[in-house]
Amino acid sequence: METNVRMILFKEDQVDQASEAIETLHHHGISDKDISVISGVPFSEKILGRPMSWTRVPQIAVAGALFGFIIAMLLNFLVPNLYKLSVGGMPLTPIPTSIVVTFELTMLGLLISTFLGVFIEMLSPSFGPKGYHPKISDGYIGILFNCPTHADEDTCFELQDLGAEIVDVSEVKQP
């Protein structure tokens, strides 16, 4: 089935109409993976009626914290038992100082893995239609969608009734 990448624009105060346009696209059988919303203002998914996007950053952060905790436990308890050195009647692993080292290494693992997780999420490819229009920098909300050619005209007329500005395919700049 042949599809066209189309773009519609709404002014920044037409958020409700943009949400209705996404619902209209859903009624025409266009799935969420075939719709991309671009704007200069970060709108939440709830405002536009989109499904919540999930990332792997929390799982990566927890894994990094666990890794840091394990390294801290090894440094606190394994190393002093491998290389025994008694100092002034102190235990081999004093608990108060072990708590500090454990906390610091756990947080270090959490921070490093969170940074790497966000970096990896940014570099991973996004799927769906891609394009840009200069009016988006002026505050417009752009909705890109893959539309089947047989439903192209009907969909465009219905979106124009909502107040959308239909952008010609030749005006959409491809990244």
Q: Residue ranges of the domains in the chain?
A: 3-52+127-171, 57-123
Min mean pLDDT across 34-38, 72-76, 145-149 is at 145-149
- Looking at every residue in the chain, the average pLDDT score rounds to 83
Q: Which CATH number, 3.30.750, 3.30.420, 3.90.320, 3.30.70, labels domain 3-52+127-171?
A: 3.30.70
Q: How confident is the model at residue 98 (pLDDT cuts 50, 70, 90)?
A: very high
Q: How confident is the model at residue 172 (pLDDT cuts 50, 70, 90)?
A: low
Q: What percent of the chain has pLDDT over 90?
A: 26
Burial label for 166, CB within 10 Å (0-12, 13-18, 19+), is middle
For residues 172 and 99, give the distance between their C-alpha atoms in angstroms, rounded to a whole number.
57
For residues 61 and 67, give the distance between their C-alpha atoms in angstroms, rounded to a whole number.
10
For residues 84 and 157, give the distance between their C-alpha atoms in angstroms, rounded to a whole number.
80
